[in-house]
Amino acid sequence: MKSLLKGAIVSILTFEARLLLRRTKPTIIAITGSVGKTTTKDAIYAVLKDRRSARKSEKSYNSELGVPLTILGLENAWSNPFQWVKNIFDGLLVALMPHEYPEVLVLEMGVDRPGDMQRFTRWIKPDIVVLTRLPDVPVHVEYFDSPEAVTEEKLTLVQALKPDGVLVYNNDDEQIRKFVEGVTYKTIGYSRYSPTDFAATQDVVRYEDGSPVGLSFTLSHKHEAVTVELDGCIGVQHTYCAAAAASVGSLFGLSIEDVVAALKGYVPPPGRMRLLPGIKETLVIDDSYNSSPVAMERALLTLKEIRGAKRRIAVLGDMLELGRFSSEAHQEAGKQVANTAQILVTVGIRSRVIADSALHHGMNKESVFQYDDAQTAVRELSGILADGDVVLVKGSQSIRLERVVEGIMAEPKRASELLVRQSRAWRDK
């Protein structure tokens, strides 16, 4: 019954969103990939919002329900049936009644199961598609026949581009680069490592008084090069987001200087390699939003690069929805963490494989702690921490590692502002 009701709500809201798009005809920027969709979406919005009337997907609303809600400008009602009835009524008014509507929609579009992207492309025809990254073992592969099937599903979005549409793509991704060779649309590449239209290179962690405070890198296009500084976050993934935002900005007449100015004060969304002061004079790298093999690898590489840490501590939760690739992915994470951190804390049943692999690759048994849930882990972790520790926290959404971050952050009263999944619906789960 619940699934039937959800299906009915999705169908009605989708119908209303289709009517609205047909009437208002905004420029649609659609973002997909297996890594970095939300941060890329937010960076693009940050660059455009002061130049155009724009709306973005809130948080990570990229599903069959989240996308229509974004287009209609409605809130997620979660389990409140009365609010859903109100949403349906309000959505009809928005769809039919004349009113001011954004010129630009920046939509994050994800897939969980086969056919998800095809359902989107039946009624959404983007003007610009942004491809972030399509790794060898993508998240959600559990529900597909193969990783290639996940890639094929996501690339369906490119086929929905309008005839004069533009494809903005990650030129460092080999799969995407090969795909682009056969594309007839106008294309713009962005990268960190390979030569292309827009490149974000020479990224380094910025320090103040010996502690990391942000990220610095060079953003270049043709013969122009400008330094970008982002506060409160680290990790190469943020360079990709800035380069993607610059690529899209160029289609709206923005120079890289304009992009850099727009990114001043920009902070990535919570749970994406955010720097937070921790208890006992520690530093927390909060990457608790979600996890996948390639994102785990990037996060651990960033932890390894931190200078001046007395101890590097990795708090790692299960990586979910990997299907038959799960064991291998967790083993690889354990191998990497053994060469990265002095202490490993795992949370969840699957992440026990991370612990076993780390021990196998030389980590001391006394330095590995295993817990089944976040509540238990945070109680024990507070006793492990010491002045000067740098703590990376990363795991899949269902493991709820934001609870660990809340338990070890110096300002827990700011959790609703700084952490992911802080709505009442999430906190009550």
pLDDT at 119: 94
pLDDT at 53: 97
What is the band of 141 on the pLDDT scale with cuts at 50, 70, 90?
confident
pLDDT at 259: 96
What is the band of 59 on the pLDDT scale with cuts at 50, 70, 90?
confident
Give the C-alpha separation, 400 to 422, whole Å: 11
Residue 140, helix vs strand vs coil = coil
Percentage of the chain surpassing pLDDT 70? 100
The yes-or-no verdict on residue 422 having pLDDT over 90 is: yes
Give the C-alpha separation, 207 to 211, whole Å: 5
Q: Among 90-94, 141-145, 391-395, whose mean pLDDT is lowest?
A: 141-145
What is the band of 154 on the pLDDT scale with cuts at 50, 70, 90?
very high
The yes-or-no verdict on residue 114 having pLDDT over 80 is: yes
What string of DSSP letters covers 349-408?
STTHHHHHHHHHTT--GGGEEEESSHHHHHHHHHHH--TTEEEEEE--GGG-THHHHHHH
The yes-or-no verdict on residue 237 having pLDDT over 60 is: yes
The yes-or-no verdict on residue 240 having pLDDT over 80 is: yes
Work out the average pLDDT over 319-346: 97
Classify residue 269 by its DSSP letter. Answer: P
* Tokens 């990535």 belong to residue: 268
Two structure tokens written together for 256: 């890289």
pLDDT at 428: 81
**In whole numbers, what is the pLDDT of the chain averaged over residues?**
95
CB atoms within 10 A of CB 75: 12
pLDDT at 139: 80
Confidence (pTM): 0.95
Report the half-sphere exposure of 240 (CA within 13 A, side-chain side).
24
Give the C-alpha separation, 195 to 199, whole Å: 7
Contact between 241 and 190 under an 8 Å Cβ cutoff? The reply is no
pLDDT at 405: 98
The yes-or-no verdict on residue 136 having pLDDT over 90 is: no
Backbone phi, then psi, for 425, in 5-degree steps? -60, -40
- All residues at 6 or more sequence positions from 146 whose CB lies less than 8 Å from its CB, including other chains: none
The yes-or-no verdict on residue 1 having pLDDT over 70 is: no
Percentage of the chain surpassing pLDDT 90? 90
Q: Among 30-39, 141-150, 192-201, 232-241, whose mean pLDDT is lowest?
A: 141-150
What is the band of 265 on the pLDDT scale with cuts at 50, 70, 90?
confident
pLDDT at 138: 82
What is the band of 5 on the pLDDT scale with cuts at 50, 70, 90?
confident
What is the band of 81 on the pLDDT scale with cuts at 50, 70, 90?
confident
Q: Give per-residue pLDDT as tens, 371-383.
A: 999 999 999 999 9
Q: Give per-residue pLDDT as tens, 302-312.
A: 999 999 999 99
Two structure tokens written together for 294: 């390639």
Kindly list the strands in the beta sheet with 343-347, ordered across the sheet, starting from the edge strand earlier in the chain.
Answer: 274-278, 282-287, 389-394, 311-317, 343-347, 368-371
For 92-98, the CB contacts below 8 A with 24+ separation are: 92/16, 94/16, 94/20, 95/16, 95/17, 95/19, 95/20, 95/23, 96/19, 96/23
Residues 21, 240, 295, 406, CA torsion sign: negative
